[in-house]
Amino acid sequence: MENAIEVKNLVTHYGDVQVLKKISFAMPRGKTTVILGGSGSGKSTLLKHLIGLLKPTSGKIEINGRDIAGMSEQEFNEVRKRIGVLFQGAALLNSMTLADNVSLPMREHTKLEESTMQIMVRMKLELVGLSGFENYYPSQLSGGMKKRAGIARAMAMDPEFLFFDEPSAGLDPITAAGIDELILKLRQAFKMTFIVVTHELPSVFTIADHVIMLDFGEVIFSGTIDELKASDNDRIRMFLERKAEKEVYSPEDYFRIIAGEE
Amino acid sequence: MKPSTAETVFGFIGRKTNRILKDINDVSRLINNTFYWSFISPLKGRAIRLRATITEMVKVGYNAIPIVSVIALFIGIILALQAAYQLKRVGAIIYVANLVGVSLTRELAPILTAIIVAGRSGSAFAAEIGSMKSAEEVDALVSMGINPIRFLVVPKLIAMMIMLPALTLFADFIGILGGFLLSITELEIHPYSYFQQTIRALGIKDIITGLIKALAFGVVITIVGAYQGFKVTGGAEEVGRRTTASVVTSIFLVIVIDLFFTTLFYFFA
Ligand SMILES: Nc1ncnc2c1ncn2[C@@H]1O[C@H](COP(=O)(O)OP(=O)(O)OP(=O)(O)O)[C@@H](O)[C@H]1O
Ligand SMILES: [Mg+2]
């Protein structure tokens, strides 16, 4: 199995705080890899490094065998053309219509004719189930529609890699399932590598081929979805069975804190 | 062990200094990049975004015309009244025209226009970029390989550098008109002699120095607005705080730069 992305001994900091603690893993090409983990485990931080928004303290991030951490901004801009990203809040530009949002990357990086671009935009919006919404502004759309439009924009340049940050967060279960369906559909239709950050278990079981699980900035699991289900690691079982962490305070402690006794 | 007072004090000074150094570094990087993408990269064939620039010119310049007109007109009248109050006593009332013309073109029109534009557009820049930053829109631009400074700041800078001098020139005219209207009615100066006197008093130099100031103010207002916008890391509350800060900072810097230029022109002109 060939790997599209390999991360080697990645260490990252926010100021003095170490967030990712020397992690290594690989993501297979042409598959959907899900990055799983609790709140604050470092998923978004990892994603931002994978797409080059943040630079690591040390370690390597190899995309197609080339280390992006050591690249100049100019070199990396070439890599960026092969990467599409859906941000957590979709991050559509609010001052532009959907059509302009989707055509923006083409406008900036290609010399296509206006009419060609319009056809491409229509195709991309059709693909995500938003045909007819070309002239809508992002503020006129629901959360789920924004995510779909964000996916259309991410796919504008026909990228090799699609990154999704929490695609179903903040959506109702039905809309969220719709987004999962869309990801499955795209995955079947195109030979792309999908990297999805999420903590929604139903989503994971629907879309994942490969799973990487983060816990407090460390990789505690990397393998297929069946291996994940079969794992007997305590943290993984807690996550899969939705068990709460052991409470640090007992009810008596809470009472004492509220009453202001030391 | 508790740190000693000296340690606390030096620690505080050290942290403050570090923060200030980092701010200076950030600002100079922003200025550098903005000028690179505005003036150097177009020479290399990477054109600026014309349509966005025109939109910004309408927002910054055209839409400010009503408020600039009203304020310039009133300031012209006020200046004429204040001048007349002094000049009447020495029987030199015709010199109202000199005072109104020179102080407007050299000083008041540029600075008032700059303050109005800082309040209207500098704050809008900070709010726009700030809310884009907090909604990850800036990250999205970067991830699409689009430089946010080229995309967002350059059209604003070009618009400001054209429209602030243009508005200032407009304010010169309206302000002088205000002084003129008051003088020919209340002060009973003959319209033609007021006109003649203004022409005689005003040199092209007076107007040009005012416009040079306006150009500098435009750059400052844009950079401050963009800087505050890009500094946003949190949510809506921070956007509000940064917007306010951008207005206060740019008005302060406008006055400082005005002092600098006025001193310069005084000694070297
Ligand atoms: N800009 C930042 N500055 C400082 N610390 C940060 C910043 N962003 C995140 N952190 C810290 O880094 C750690 C990991 O954050 P991250 O956002 O990567 O978590 P996450 O796994 O995406 O969580 P969630 O599921 O809640 O989105 C957290 O402890 C967080 O407090
Ligand atoms: Mg996150």
Mean pLDDT of A234-262: 74
Q: What distance in angstroms lies between residue B99's CA and the mean position of ligand 2's atoms?
A: 62
Q: What distance in angstroms lies between residue B204's CA and the mean position of ligand 2's atoms?
A: 60
Q: Is A40 in the pocket of ligand 1 (CB under 6 A)?
A: yes
Q: Which residues contact B225 (CB under 8 A, 6 or more apart)?
A: B121, B122, B123, B124, B125, B126, B129, B156, B246, B250
Pocket test for ligand 1, best of A17, A212, A220 (most atoms within 8 A of CB): A17
Residue nearest atom 1 in ligand 1 by C-alpha distance: A14
State ipTM: 0.88
- The answer to whether residues B96 and B200 touch, using CB atoms and an 8 Å cutoff, is no
pLDDT confidence bin for B259, thresholds 50/70/90: very high
pLDDT confidence bin for A3, thresholds 50/70/90: confident
Mean pLDDT of B90-98: 90
Question: How high is the pLDDT of residue A262?
Answer: 53
Across the A/B interface, how many CB contacts are shorter than 8 Å?
Answer: 44
Q: What are the extents of the domains in chain B?
A: 56-268
How do residues A205-238 score in pLDDT, each as one tens digit? 889 999 999 998 899 999 998 888 888 888 888 8
- pLDDT at B52 exceeding the cut of 70: yes
How do residues A53-97 score in pLDDT, each as one tens digit? 999 999 999 998 889 888 888 888 888 889 999 998 889 999 999
Which chain B residues are Cβ-neighbours of A109 within 8 angstroms?
145
> Å from A92 to nearest chain B CA?
6
Report the residue of A81, A94, A139 to disrupt the B interface, i.e. the one with the largest count of B CBs within 10 Å: A94
For residues A216 and A38, give the distance between their C-alpha atoms in angstroms, rounded to a whole number: 8
pLDDT confidence bin for B217, thresholds 50/70/90: very high
Contact criterion met (CB < 8 Å) for B143 and A80:
yes
**Residue located via tokens 């000028």:** B35
Contact criterion met (CB < 8 Å) for B145 and A91:
no
Which chain B residues are Cβ-neighbours of A149 within 8 angstroms?
none
Question: How high is the pLDDT of residue B59?
Answer: 95
Question: How high is the pLDDT of residue B48?
Answer: 87
Pocket test for ligand 1, best of A13, A36, A41 (most atoms within 8 A of CB): A41
Which chain A residues are Cβ-neighbours of B139 within 8 angstroms?
48, 53, 87, 91
Compare CB distances from A91 to B135, B145, B146 and report the shortest one's residue.
B135
pLDDT confidence bin for A200, thresholds 50/70/90: confident
Q: Is A14 in the pocket of ligand 1 (CB under 6 A)?
A: yes
Question: How high is the pLDDT of residue A199?
Answer: 83
How do residues B105-117 score in pLDDT, each as one tens digit? 999 999 999 999 9
Q: Is A41 in the pocket of ligand 1 (CB under 6 A)?
A: yes
Question: How high is the pLDDT of residue A250?
Answer: 73
How do residues B160-205 score in pLDDT, each as one tens digit? 999 999 999 999 999 999 999 999 998 889 999 999 999 999 989 9
Q: Which residue of A has its CA nearest to B146?
A: A108
Q: What distance in angstroms lies between residue A44's CA and the mean position of ligand 2's atoms?
A: 4
A93: left (phi over 0), alpha (psi -120 to 50) or beta: beta
Residue nearest atom 4 in ligand 1 by C-alpha distance: A14
Q: What distance in angstroms lies between residue A9's CA and the mean position of ligand 1's atoms?
A: 19
How many of the other CB atoms lie within 10 Å of CB of A254? 11
DSSP state of A59: E
Q: What are the extents of the domains in chain A?
A: 1-82+159-231, 95-158
Contact criterion met (CB < 8 Å) for A105 and B146:
yes
Q: What distance in angstroms lies between residue A39's CA and the mean position of ligand 1's atoms?
A: 8
Compare CB distances from A89 to B135, B142, B144 and report the shortest one's residue.
B135
> How is domain A1-82+159-231 classified at the architecture level of CATH?
3-Layer(aba) Sandwich (3.40)
Long-range contacts of range B186-190, CB-CB < 8 Å, 24 or more positions apart? B186/B81, B186/B84, B187/B80, B187/B84, B187/B93, B187/B96, B189/B93, B189/B94, B189/B96, B189/B97
Q: Is A203 in the pocket of ligand 1 (CB under 6 A)?
A: no
- pLDDT at A246 exceeding the cut of 70: no
The H or E element containing residue A219 is strand A218-224
Residue length, chain B? 269
How do residues A43-64 score in pLDDT, each as one tens digit? 989 999 999 999 999 999 999 8
Contact criterion met (CB < 8 Å) for B143 and A85:
yes
- The answer to whether residues B194 and B180 touch, using CB atoms and an 8 Å cutoff, is yes
How many of the other CB atoms lie within 10 Å of CB of A187? 18
- Pairwise pLDDT comparison (A190 vs A162), residue with the higher score: A162
Q: Is A49 in the pocket of ligand 1 (CB under 6 A)?
A: no
Whole-prediction pTM:
0.88
At CB < 8 Å, which residues of chain B contact A?
132, 135-137, 139-146
Give me the DSSP letters along B180-240.
HHHHHHTS---HHHHHHHHHHH--HHHHHHHHHHHHHHHHHHHHHHHHHHHH--S-HHHHH
Q: Which residue of A has its CA nearest to B150?
A: A108
Compare CB distances from B142 to A53, A89, A92 and report the shortest one's residue.
A53
Q: What does each C-alpha distance from A110 to A81, A106, A124, B139 come to in angstroms?
A: 11, 5, 16, 21
- Do β-strands A218-224 and A58-63 pair in parallel, antiparallel, or remain unpaired? unpaired
| Average pLDDT value over all residues in chain A | 88
Contact criterion met (CB < 8 Å) for B139 and A88:
no
Q: Which residue of A has its CA nearest to B134?
A: A91
Structure tokens at B24: 């200076």
The H or E element containing residue A248 is none
**Residue located via tokens 């080697």:** A8
